[in-house]
């Protein structure tokens, strides 16, 4: 094997899409020269990832425990990764794939830090992880890929028919108080709406914040003396049968996602429901290559089905983006010197 070109880090590497991404990284010759950093909630319990890694003993990798819903765990994992890069034990991060995700389907859970699990696991943990890992990114060609979702945009046609965003739910965040209500899970609570839709809206809010991070972090990196060549972009993976539905009722979990959707995916492989393998190739294409149809993958771009896709109007609102960024600094207790991003506050 020739010299290792860079490190690729995948969060949620034991999950449905994460396993498919890991499988392609481990088995496809074009990725043979990358070192894989696979983060899972508990490195001792990642059966799907372990079975994938066992297929190719020559694949250079580490498996790291990372609980995105625990800010101490994020800092601990980052210290470990940054130390390995600094000691040149592994090469700088070429690609950071923010893939882990969680949806409570209306059965909310809270983190030890007092946040709604949906907010913390999908957004705040990834935001902090990214800011702290910038130090270890390849400063010339490094790329960050956010796995997005249609749920971030109430006006996305794919949300029509769900009734999740009917009434007052067309926008997510207005001010500090509404950000706090999302972070603490008091907005769209199970008391307010006991159906799966309450969880879907909070998941949508967390995905909106992640997509705001694409726009806002790129803006801040573009002006940064060290990070101005690093890019961040997003991919909407579409609908897939994965562990994401594990907290749903049986109609959604079994009937829709295990029976109806897989049948639709077989007969309509290019339809809205797709295999994790297909979405994984699209994520990896955005992470490593230039787009075969549209040329380069520019900075601050977003894709669905390999085509450029508009993010929501709310995600582009400069005032709201600034508010969400500043609240994230506060909620993650980001301290001076923790990130190399010059404009971090
Ligand atoms: N499935 C879909 O239809 C769909 C649609 C649009 C977008 N997405 C997005 O696709 C991505 C992958 O999700 P998936 O569908 O593959 O679901 P999945 O099978 O449940 O995988 C998600 C992974 O995230 C990990 N995770 C959850 N909470 C975590 C935490 N607190 N700390 C660390 N890791 C955590 C899970 O770890 P454990 O295995 O330990 O639970 C799991 O490995 C997510 O970003 C999701 O939002 C999925």
Which residue's CA is minimally distant from atom 24 of ligand 1?
Answer: 100
Q: How far is the CA of 329 from the centre of ligand 1 (A)?
A: 24
In a domain, 133, yes or no: yes
In a domain, 65, yes or no: yes
Distance, CA of 43 to CA of 47 (rounded, Å): 9
In a domain, 181, yes or no: yes
Report, as an integer, the average pLDDT of 56-85: 97
CB neighbour list of residue 290: distance below 8 Å, 6 or more residues apart: 296, 297
pLDDT over 50 at 68, yes or no: yes
In a domain, 344, yes or no: no
In a domain, 143, yes or no: yes
The single residue listed with the structure tokens 């829709």 is 256
Query: pLDDT band for position 293 (50/70/90)?
Result: low
Distance, CA of 108 to CA of 116 (rounded, Å): 7
Ligand 1: residue of 242, 271, 274 to mutate (most ligand atoms within 8 A of CB) is: 242
pLDDT over 80 at 185, yes or no: yes
Ligand 1: residue of 15, 124, 200, 275 to mutate (most ligand atoms within 8 A of CB) is: 15
Q: How far is the CA of 125 from the centre of ligand 1 (A)?
A: 13
Q: What is the pTM of this model?
A: 0.97
Which residue's CA is minimally distant from atom 37 of ligand 1?
Answer: 12
Q: How far is the CA of 242 from the centre of ligand 1 (A)?
A: 8
pLDDT over 80 at 213, yes or no: yes
Domain of 314? 6-238+274-331
pLDDT over 80 at 295, yes or no: no
pLDDT over 50 at 17, yes or no: yes
> Contact, 215 vs 315, CB < 8 A?
yes
More confidently predicted of 271 and 153 = 153
Q: How far is the CA of 3 from the centre of ligand 1 (A)?
A: 32
- Say what percent of the chain tops pLDDT 70: 97
Q: List, in sequence order, every residue forming a beta bridge with 97; answer none if it has no partner.
A: 10, 145
Q: What is the pLDDT of residue 294?
A: 57
In a domain, 252, yes or no: no
Task: Give the chain's mean pLDDT.
Answer: 95
Report, as an integer, the average pLDDT of 117-131: 98
Q: What is the pLDDT of residue 3?
A: 67
Report, as an integer, the average pLDDT of 298-313: 95
Catalytic residues: 203, 207
Report, as an integer, the average pLDDT of 288-297: 68
Which residue's CA is minimally distant from atom 40 of ligand 1?
Answer: 41
How many alpha carbons lie under 13 Å from residue 71 in its C-beta half-sphere?
18
pLDDT over 80 at 183, yes or no: yes
Ligand 1: residue of 97, 100, 126 to mutate (most ligand atoms within 8 A of CB) is: 100
Which residue's CA is minimally distant from atom 29 of ligand 1?
Answer: 121
Q: By C-alpha distance, which of 253, 132, 152 is closest to 207?
A: 152
pLDDT over 60 at 292, yes or no: no
Which residue's CA is minimally distant from atom 4 of ligand 1?
Answer: 239
Separation in Å, CA 95 to CA 133, 142, 163, 191: 11, 6, 36, 40
Atom of ligand 1 nearest to the CA of 20: 16
Which residues form ligand 1's pocket by a CB distance below 6 Å? 12, 14-18, 41, 66-69, 99-102, 121, 147, 149, 237, 239-240, 242-244
In a domain, 137, yes or no: yes
In a domain, 188, yes or no: yes
Which residue's CA is minimally distant from atom 6 of ligand 1?
Answer: 149
Q: How far is the CA of 65 from the centre of ligand 1 (A)?
A: 15
The CATH number of the domain holding residue 159 is 3.40.50.720
> Contact, 282 vs 214, CB < 8 A?
no
pLDDT over 80 at 260, yes or no: yes
pLDDT over 90 at 5, yes or no: no
The single residue listed with the structure tokens 């960050």 is 144
Tokens of 285: 């294409």
Query: pLDDT band for position 1 (50/70/90)?
Result: very low
Work out how many domains the chain is built from and give that number. Answer: 1
């Amino acid at each position: 094997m020739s010299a290792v070109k860079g490190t690729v880090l995948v969060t949620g590497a034991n999950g449905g899409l994460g396993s498919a991404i890991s499988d392609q990284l481990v088995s496809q010759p074009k990725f043979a020269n990358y070192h894989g950093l696979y983060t899972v909630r508990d490195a001792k319990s990642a059966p799907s990832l372990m079975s994938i890694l066992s297929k190719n003993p020559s694949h250079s990798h580490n498996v790291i425990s990372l609980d995105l819903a625990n800010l101490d765990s994020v800092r601990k994992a980052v210290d470990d990764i940054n130390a390995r890069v600094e000691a040149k034990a592994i090469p700088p991060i070429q690609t950071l794939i923010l893939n882990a995700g969680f949806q409570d389907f209306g059965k909310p859970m809270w983190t030890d830090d007092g946040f709604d699990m949906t907010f913390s696991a999908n957004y705040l943990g990834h935001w902090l992880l990214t800011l702290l890992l910038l130090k270890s990114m390849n400063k010339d060609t490094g790329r960050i890929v956010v796995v997005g979702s249609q749920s971030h945009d109430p006006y996305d046609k794919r949300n029509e028919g769900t009734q999740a965003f009917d009434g007052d739910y067309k926008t997510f965040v207005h001010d500090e108080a509404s950000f706090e209500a999302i972070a603490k899970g008091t907005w769209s609570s199970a008391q307010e709406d006991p159906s799966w839709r309450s969880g879907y809206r909070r998941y949508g809010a967390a995905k909106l914040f992640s997509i705001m991070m694409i726009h806002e972090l790129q803006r801040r990196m573009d002006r940064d003396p060290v990070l101005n060549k690093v890019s961040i972009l997003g991919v909407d993976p579409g609908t897939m049968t994965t562990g994401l539905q594990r907290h749903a009722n049986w109609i959604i979990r079994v009937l829709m996602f295990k029976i109806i959707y897989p049948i639709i995916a077989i007969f309509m492989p290019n339809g809205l429901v797709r295999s994790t393998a297909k979405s994984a190739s699209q994520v990896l294409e955005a992470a490593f290559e230039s787009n075969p149809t549209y040329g380069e993958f520019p900075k601050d771009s977003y894709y669905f089905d390999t085509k450029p896709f508009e993010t929501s109007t709310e995600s582009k609102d400069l005032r709201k983006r600034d508010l969400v960024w500043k609240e994230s600094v506060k909620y993650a207790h980001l301290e001076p010197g923790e990130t190399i991003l010059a404009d971090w506050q």
